[in-house]
Amino acid sequence: AAALVAVAISPNVCNVLFFTSQSAEIGQRAALEKIQEIATANGLPIDNIPALSMGLRMGEGTAALLAVPILRSSANVLSDMATIQDILS
C-alpha cells in the first residue's frame, strides 16, 4: 500500500521499486496492477513481478528482510565473480 501511495504522489518512484514477495492477499495484486498502470501511463519501466513467493501474509516487511541477502549475493556475483580470462591469467 505504501508503494502505491508513493507512486501516486510521484510516478518516478517506480524507478526504485523492487517487489520482494508475492503475497497471498488479494490487495497486493490489485496494488501491483495499479502501480504497473501508473508506470505505463508515465512511460516508466517497472517489473511488478515479486522476486520471491513465500505465501507470507504478515505485511510488516518480512520478505524484504529475507530478500536483502539474496540481492546482495546476486550483486556480488555480477560485480565480483571472476571471468574465465581472470582464472587463466
User: Active-site residue numbers?
Assistant: 60
* Residue whose C-alpha is closest to residue 17's, from 41, 60, 55, 51: 51
Length of the chain measured in residues: 89
Residues 9-27 as b or e (16 or more Cβ within 10 Å = b)? eebebbeebebbbbbeeee
